[in-house]
Amino acid sequence: MAREQQNVDPAVDPGPAGKAAVRAIWALGDYDRFADELMWEIGPVLVQAAGIGPGQRVLDVAAGTGNVAIRAAAAGAEVVASDLVPEHFEAGRRRAREGGVELDWVEADAEALPFDDGEFDVVTSSFGVIFAPDHQRVADELVRVCRPGGTIALASFTPEGLGGAFFELFGRYMPPPPRGAQPPVAWGSEAHVRSLFGDRVSSLEMTRREYVEQASSPADYCAFFEETFGPAVAIRRGLVDRPERAAAFDRDFLAYATRSNRGAPGGPARYPYEYLLVVARRRR
């Protein structure tokens, strides 16, 4: 059954111009380097949690450069990697070739996936769909494209962990989100996830885990983000004619990196980010 037209709430929908602006932000910097150095370890976690293996058809939503998707293909699955930002695909294809695997790369909006109902055995997203403004529309799409009895596996920052403070800081300097947009870290709340999926899933396993980002110092941590992380690059570019505001961002970011550092004195800076690992089974 082909995808049906959804009713879109204009209070949350940023429209084509808004989507294009989001794509432009995430295309800045060097996302492949960013993901490789800080969070590449999460891909195998989702593959194992979802039980991905040979013979399965898998969709990774907001796939970036293939953190989960390439690992799923290596496990023997037939994989589609989708993302709103196709600028990531060149690096993803290179990584796939280096890993000796093949998969499809499809430009797609997580709020309106261009796939048929029940097309996939497993649907995943690692710190990806959390950035779409309308969480309910995303959840509806994840359920829709997953076959009855299939699996949905997600990794999302929790509001109580470092991700909550990080996104609060960046939110003060980014352009305002669409009216009614929900914060990314809400996906890390168990109650929020339950409300999004409701009775459309027969089981919902949620566990809190942690991964650690590292840098030689808090200053180097900030510098790495400002070189590679699209939103940080966008903030600095947007403030080029506002030096006082730019200096305030630099001070606030360094203050965050300094107080959040859990590394030993004199050693590398360590940033343990808590995330919610969700494994849901779509009701048959």
pLDDT value for 12: 62
Confidence class for position 14, pLDDT limits 50, 70, 90: low
Exposed / middle / buried, residue 60 (Cβ in 10 Å: 0-12, 13-18, 19+): buried
Of the listed ranges 76-90, 100-114, 172-186, 188-202, the least confidently predicted one is: 172-186
Domain ranges, residue 126: 15-215+272-282
Q: Evaluate whether residue 260 is within a structural domain.
A: no
pLDDT score, position 5 = 39
Compute the distance between CA of residue 166 and CA of residue 210 in angstroms, rounded to an integer: 15
Confidence check: pLDDT of 166 > 70: yes
Query: Per the confidence metrics, is the pTM higher than 0.85?
Result: yes
Provide the sign of the torsion angle of the four alpha carbons 3, 5, 7, 12, taken in this order. Answer: positive
Q: Give the count of domains, the chain.
A: 1
- CATH number, domain of 128, equals 3.40.50.150
Whether residue 90 has pLDDT greater than 80: yes
Dump pLDDT digits (tens) for 109-157.
999 999 999 999 999 999 999 999 999 999 999 999 999 999 999 999 9
Under 8 Å between Cβ of 202 and 283: yes
With respect to residue 34, please indicate whether it lies within any of the assigned structural domains.
Answer: yes
Least confident stretch, 10-14, 16-20, 45-49, 60-64? 10-14
Compute the distance between CA of residue 165 and CA of residue 185 in angstroms, rounded to an integer: 10
Whole-number pLDDT of residue 2: 40
Residue 254 within any structural domain of the chain = no
15, 45, 96, 155, 243 from 106: Cα distances, Å = 20, 23, 15, 21, 39
pLDDT at 1: 36
- 162 assigned to some structural domain: yes
The three-state DSSP-derived secondary structure of 18-44 is HHHHHHHHHCCCCHHHHHHHHCCCHHH
Instruction: Return d(Cα 276, Cα 204) in angstroms, integer.
Output: 12
For the chain, first and last CA: distance in Å?
Answer: 16
Report the C-alpha gap between 6 and 26 in whole angstroms: 26
Does any domain span residue 225?
no
Residue 99 lies in a domain: yes
Query: Does residue 168 lie in a domain region?
Result: yes
Three-state secondary structure call for residue 274: strand
- pLDDT tier at 15, thresholds 50, 70, 90: confident
pLDDT of residue 230: 97
Give the total residue count for the chain.
284
Q: What is the mean pLDDT of residues 54-75?
A: 98
In this prediction, residue 17 carries a pLDDT of 87
pLDDT > 90 fraction of the chain, expressed in percent and rounded? 92
Average pLDDT, the chain: 95
Q: Is the pLDDT of residue 7 over 50?
A: no
| Residue written as token pair 């699955």 | 77
- pLDDT attached to residue 16: 84
Would residue 66 count as lying in a domain? yes
**At a CB cut-off of 8 Å and minimum separation 6, what does 98 contact?**
none
What percent of the chain clears pLDDT 70, i.e. is strictly above it?
95
Sheet order of strands, 78-83 included: 104-107, 78-83, 57-61, 120-126, 146-157, 269-282, 201-215
